[in-house]
Amino acid sequence: MMYEPDKNPYYNPETMGLETIAMLEYSSGNYEFDTLVVWREIATGKLYSMRDSGCSCPVPFEEYDSIDKLDLVNYDDFYRTVMSEKCEYLTPFEVHEFIEKVRAALTKADGEAR
């Protein structure tokens, strides 16, 4: 399958009906990426996430051209996973800020669903 840049949730989330909520970069950023992203599906308010990594050659998230390839966020599982990750390039504040953005988006989605 050929890569279609318009269907990349990292660069063009709106083409998949998504908006970016939060990003966390685990790499040093020196010719590499290791990025965790959370998106909200605009139509439903559901949150999806995915983590992708590589050197400077591949395009981040180039294999994720459909919402079906993303993970639906379950906050408790998501929180445990993120908090268990160790990374010398992230401060506790950055991790906390990321988690708070996700929590706030879920709270907003729950409020809108009522």
Give pLDDT tens digits for 45-99.
999 999 999 998 889 999 999 999 999 999 999 999 999 998 999 999 999 999 9
CA separation for the pair 49, 32 (Å, rounded): 20
SS3 17: coil
Residues 6 or more apart whose Cβ sits within 8 Å of residue 20: 13, 37, 38, 39
Q: What's the whole-model pTM score?
A: 0.91
pLDDT of residue 114: 42
**Cβ pair 13, 19 in contact under 8 A:** yes
Domain that holds residue 82: 5-113
- Count of the separate structural domains present in the chain: 1
CA separation for the pair 96, 27 (Å, rounded): 17
Residue 64 identity: Y
Q: Does pLDDT of 1 surpass 70?
A: no
Mean pLDDT across the chain: 92
